[in-house]
Every structure is written in structure tokens, then in C-alpha cells.
Amino acid sequence: MKFRDIVIFNGAQFKVPQCVQRIDTRNTHGWQVRYQGTKMFSDHTPDGSGAQRSLALATRELLKRMTAQPAPVSRQRTPGANKGNQLPSGISGPIVRARVNSIVRTASLSVSLPQHGQRTKCTSVYIGSEGTYTLDRFKLALARAVELRAEAAVTYELAAARAQRRDGSALRAALRRPATA
């Protein structure tokens, strides 16, 4: 889990986990948890003297949410409204290409394979050439593309869950260490 150093309006310094934000307005001072919803933890003091206690409460709430809920997944599950065909999300095509110095064109489907914490990979599923392209070959290629996308989605969600558990462990360890303010 990433932590950052925050200096609040009264000069006090805190190590704050990601997903916890400081809110200081004329009327409110406190910490807000922003993880699968929001929850505010007020300092209950206008001078910020309750900031340490409210940060501890916010951090415990964040840990509770991380351990009780599945990892948030940000990948797109349904096709966008502007997608011009009926293919599932993450699959595009058929894409027709001709190699350099060749007159034969080939068709393939492009599949986006999400990877947690890394750039999305893109792979192609071959359909056929001009002479071998059929509706049956397209359907087989589409089934393979959907299978590849589903496997990548499962791997993505498992990696996200592992990362969330690591972050929860780091947060738990940080709660055990003495706080500095």
C-alpha cells in the first residue's frame, strides 16, 4: 500500500494511506475514506487537534472495507454505447491486413487482454485469408477470442485480489507501528 506525507493546516504531519483524503474547509476538518464508497471521519475540533484520532478511525475503516469487499475492478465489462458492431467488450474486428509485398489479405480479430498493474496486452486471433474466410471460421475465432478474454479477466481479478490482500497486510502492519504526528 502506498502512503504519503500530509501536512494539515495547523502544521501537523501524518503518513496517510492511499484512499484516505484530507478534507479541510471552513466548516469541516477530517479524513475521508474513498474506497468503494465514501465515509467522512471528522476531527470534531476546529484546530485540528483531533486529526490523529480521526485518521486512525479512517484507516481502520479502510482496512475493514479492504478485507470485507472484493477488489474493485476497473475493466470494462460491456461494450461501449458507440461500438459499431455486436462483438463483446475487448474484441474488435474482423481486421483485414495485407502483408508487405503480398497480394493475399488475411482477417483476424483483435483481443484486448487486461493485466493488473501493467499495460493491457493485445493479441490477434486468426480467422482466415480471402480464400478461406467463412462464417464458421469467424464464429470459431470469435469463440476463441471470448475464451482468451475471459481467461485474462479471471487472471486480472485474481491479481487484483492478491494486490488488495498485500495492501491490507501493509496497512495492518502500519497500524501496529507507533504513529508520528
pLDDT at residue 46 in the model: 83
Q: Where are the beta strands (DSSP E) in the chain?
A: 3-7, 13-17, 20-24, 29-34, 38-42, 91-98, 105-113, 121-129
* Cα–Cα distance for residue pair 19/27, rounded to 1 Å: 22
Q: Domain residue spans in the chain?
A: 3-69, 91-163
* 10-residue averages of pLDDT along the chain (181 residues): 84 88 90 90 88 90 80 62 74 86 89 86 92 92 93 86 78 67 45
